[in-house]
Amino acid sequence: MELTKREDVLKFAALVVAKDYNSSIQIIDNWLQDNPFDYNAMSQFKGNKNPNKKKKYLGSPQNIYQDKLLPILKAANSSNPKEELYKLFDGKGKINNISIFSDGNAKLKFLNFSTMPKVNCGGAGGCLSFCYSFKSLRNPNVVARWVANTILENHAFEILEDSLRWNLGRAKYRVGLDQVVDFRLYNDGDFQSLDKMISWFDILNKFPQLQSYAYSKSLHLFKNFIDEYGAENIPSNFVLNLSSGVHPIYKPLKKVLAKYDFVRGEFIGIDLGKKVKPTELTKEQKQELRQKAYAMGFKKAFACGGICQSCTNQGHACGMRKLKDVAIVTPIH
Ligand code: SF4
C-alpha cells in the first residue's frame, strides 16, 4: 500500500474503522520500510525558491505516520485502549500532537470535528462522486486527525469530551449566558454507528452553549435512534440538514425525518453544468440555482454563498430552525 495515495489511504482507514489494528500497524511498518525518509532529497514544495533547500522531516508523511499515528494505533491495539490513549492525550486539545478539534477556516470559522470520510459514511451514495473531503486525502496531517479521531470514537469518547471542554474554555469560545458557540459536527466523516451517535448526543447534552449542526447521510441511524429512544431525546442543541447524495435505499427516510423539529430542511447540491464555487456565484447563477430547486418541487429556496460565518445577518442558514421549509442550494463544485 502506498500511504500517500488516496485509494490506499482509504483502504488503510477502513481497517481502522473495523478496529483491525494489527493489519493497519503492519501496513504502516511496511510502508515506512519501503519509504524511508530521504534527508538529502530536495524540497518539492511548490513555492520553494531555494533550489538547495532540503526536505524537512517534520510534517513529512514519514513523520506523521511513524511518530504521530503509530503510537495511537498501538495504544488502540493494547489490552486497555482507553488508558493507553489517555497517556497520549495532553489534557487539552491534542492527542500525540494531533489537534482533535479544529477552529475552521476562512469559509467556516466554527469549532468543528471530523473523522475519516467515506469509510465512516454508511449512508453515503451519490455524494461519493463529488465529496470535497477527498481533496484532503493527500495531506497526511489532515489524514492523521481523521484517523486519530476515528480511533477516539472507537475507544475513548471521554477524551473527546475532555478536549471539547478544554476548547470551550479558550478565550475564543468562552461565551456569556445567552450566547452560543456554533459547532459543526462532522465537517468530514459522519455518524458511523448508533453507539457513536448516542455518545455524541450525550456530549451535546452536557454542553448547552454549543449550537451544533450536521449534514448527515446516516439517516438510517437517526431512524434507529428515534425508534429506540424517541425523537425527544435528540439534544435540543442539534440541527440536522438533509443533504443530497444519500444512498438510494435511505432516500425515503428524508420524508420520514423531515417532520421532526431537529431537522432544519434539505441542503442540495445542484449541477450548473460547470464547476462554480459558492463564493463565486453571480446573481444570475444564484437565481438559476433557486429556479432549479423550485422545478424540483421546493416552495422556497436559498442559494448558499459559501461563507458560513457571514451567511445571513442573523446567523448561519444551515443552523437556523426557522428555515425549516427552505431548501438551501449549492452548486456542485
Ligand atoms: S448556506 Fe450558509 S451556513 Fe449553509 S453552507 Fe452555505 S454559507 Fe454555510
| Same-domain check for residues 179 and 307 | no
pLDDT of residue 138: 86
Residue 63 is assigned to a structural domain of this protein? yes
- The vertex-324 CA angle with 320 and 325, nearest 5°, equals 140
CA-to-CA distance for 219 and 190, rounded, in angstroms? Answer: 10
Looking up cell 442573523 gives 314
| Same-domain check for residues 143 and 199 | yes
| Same-domain check for residues 241 and 269 | no
SS3 316: coil
| Same-domain check for residues 24 and 165 | yes
C-alpha cell recorded at residue 112 = 468543528
By most ligand atoms within 8 Å of CB, the mutation choice from 311, 323, 326 for ligand 1 is: 311
| Same-domain check for residues 10 and 79 | yes
- Which of 207, 236, 261 is where one domain is finished? 261
One-letter identity of residue 28: I
By most ligand atoms within 8 Å of CB, the mutation choice from 244, 280, 316 for ligand 1 is: 316
| Same-domain check for residues 169 and 271 | no
In Å, what is the CA distance from 54 to each residue of 36, 58, 89, 269, 275?
Answer: 15, 12, 32, 43, 37
Residue 1 is assigned to a structural domain of this protein? no
Atom of ligand 1 nearest to the CA of 330: 6
Looking up cell 495531506 gives 139
| Same-domain check for residues 64 and 209 | yes
One-letter identity of residue 302: F
Could you give the dihedral angle defined by the CA atoms of residues 222, 202, 20 and 71, in that order, rounded to the nearest 10 degrees? 140
Q: Which protein residue's CA is at the shortest distance from atom 8 of ligand 1?
A: 308
By most ligand atoms within 8 Å of CB, the mutation choice from 132, 308, 320, 330 for ligand 1 is: 308
Residue 102 Cα to ligand 1 middle (Å):
18
Show pLDDT as tens, one digit a residue, over the chain (333 residues): 999 999 999 999 999 999 999 999 999 999 999 999 999 998 877 777 888 889 999 999 999 999 999 999 999 999 999 999 999 999 999 999 999 999 988 888 899 999 999 999 999 998 888 888 898 898 999 999 999 999 999 999 999 999 999 999 999 998 877 789 999 999 999 999 999 999 999 999 999 999 999 999 999 999 999 999 999 999 999 999 998 889 999 999 999 999 999 999 999 999 888 888 999 999 999 999 999 999 999 999 999 999 998 899 898 999 999 999 899 999 987
| Same-domain check for residues 218 and 267 | no
C-alpha cell recorded at residue 144 = 492523521
In this structure, are residues 264 and 243 in contact, taking their beta carbons and an 8 Å threshold? no
| Structural domain harbouring 246 | 6-261
Number of structural domains found in the chain = 2
**Sheet with 263-270, edge to edge strand ranges:** 111-113, 181-185, 210-214, 238-243, 263-270, 326-331, 300-303
| Same-domain check for residues 183 and 323 | no
Q: DSSP character for 55?
A: P
End-to-end CA distance of the chain, in Å?
A: 30
In this structure, are residues 246 and 124 in contact, taking their beta carbons and an 8 Å threshold? yes
pLDDT of residue 51: 80
